[in-house]
Amino acid sequence: MKGSSLLFAVTLVALADVHAAQGDERIIAPQQLFTPPPAGSYQLPPILAAPDGRVLDERGRPRQLRDLTRGRITLLSFIYTHCTDAVGCPLAFSTLAQVRDRLAGRVKGAQLVSLSFNPDYDTPDVMRMFSKSFDGGTKEPAWHFLTTASPAQLAPLLEGFGQDVSPAGEKRLDHTLRVFLIDRQQRVREIYSSAYLLPEVIVNDMLTLAGESR
């Protein structure tokens, strides 16, 4: 976060409507009860080097994640398309859509990347169809929906980012929502949990990185 000088209170509010690809989902969204510091008035120290790994884009083309993030300010989320957790993927999709709308035209080279941790089901075709619900590649900032060829290819990325996931029944996975802010030098500069996944905070953080000297 921004350090101990930043005082904030975040509470979970009652179920709120969002529109996600599966239809109307119910989410538990954090309520912002503080005023974030202005963009550029604080620093975000590097947390770790962003891990690299082999991924597949929406067309099934193999790519290195590092090639997709180099020189870009990236908001990376781990998701899966069948998630219905009230503080999981539906919350992430709702928040990221708001961030995207607020960033439009403000940060050159910004992008959103959502990477599935269910490659057995979330094939490139599934991810491409899913992305259409969010106008994935048709407006700025771009929003890329990626997967991997196998759980074995996914495993190093999950380990590197410290993202937990475990089976929880048919088509269901248990996971903790984490969203990673990656700078142009491919360093993780912030990690957002479900309790701190606030559009205004994220936008200010991305604007802060955009204002740094390259």
CB burial class (10 A; 0-12, 13-18, 19+) of residue 76? Answer: buried
Q: According to the annotation, is 89 in a ligand binding site?
A: yes
Closest by Cα among 151, 160, 167 to 186: 160
User: Is 82 part of any known ligand binding site?
Assistant: no
Residue 129, helix vs strand vs coil:
helix
The encoded tokens of residue 104 equal: 């439009």
Comparing CA positions, the residue from 193, 189, 194 lying closest to residue 204 is 189
From the list 77, 96, 57, the residue with the least C-alpha distance to 165 is 77
Indicate the annotated binding residues.
83, 89, 175
Annotated binding site for Cu cation: 83, 89, 175
